[in-house]
Amino acid sequence: MNPERKALVKYRYEKSQNTFNVAETLFNADQYSHAVNRYYYAVFYAIRALLATVELESRKHSGTIALFNKRFVKTGLFAKKYSEVVRYCFEERSDADYEDFRVFEKQEVEDLSADVASFLQAVGEYLAKTQWID
pLDDT exceeds 90 at position 74: yes
Q: What average pLDDT does the segment 100-119 reach?
A: 97
pLDDT digits (tens, 9 = 90+) for 18-61: 999 999 999 999 999 999 999 999 999 999 999 999 999 999 99
Question: What average pLDDT does the structure give for the chain?
Answer: 97
Residue of 13, 39, 14 whose CA lies nearest to 116: 39
What integer pLDDT is reported at residue 52 of this predicted model? Answer: 97
Note the pTM of the prediction, 2 decimals: 0.96
Q: ∠ CA(51), CA(32), CA(30), 5° rounding?
A: 135
- In the chain, domain spans: 3-129
CB 46 within 8 A of CB 16: yes
Q: How far is CA 107 from CA 44, 120, 129, in A?
A: 22, 20, 33
Q: What average pLDDT does the segment 81-101 reach?
A: 96
What integer pLDDT is reported at residue 130 of this predicted model? Answer: 96
Q: What average pLDDT does the segment 67-79 reach?
A: 97
What integer pLDDT is reported at residue 17 of this predicted model? Answer: 98
Residue of 100, 91, 123 whose CA lies nearest to 15: 123
pLDDT above 70: percentage of residues in the chain: 100
pLDDT band per the 50, 70, 90 thresholds, residue 134: confident
Q: Would you state the CATH architecture of domain 3-129?
A: Up-down Bundle (1.20)
Amino acid occupying residue 90: F
Cα–Cα distance measured from residue 30 to residue 105, given in angstroms and rounded to the nearest whole number: 10
What integer pLDDT is reported at residue 1 of this predicted model? Answer: 80
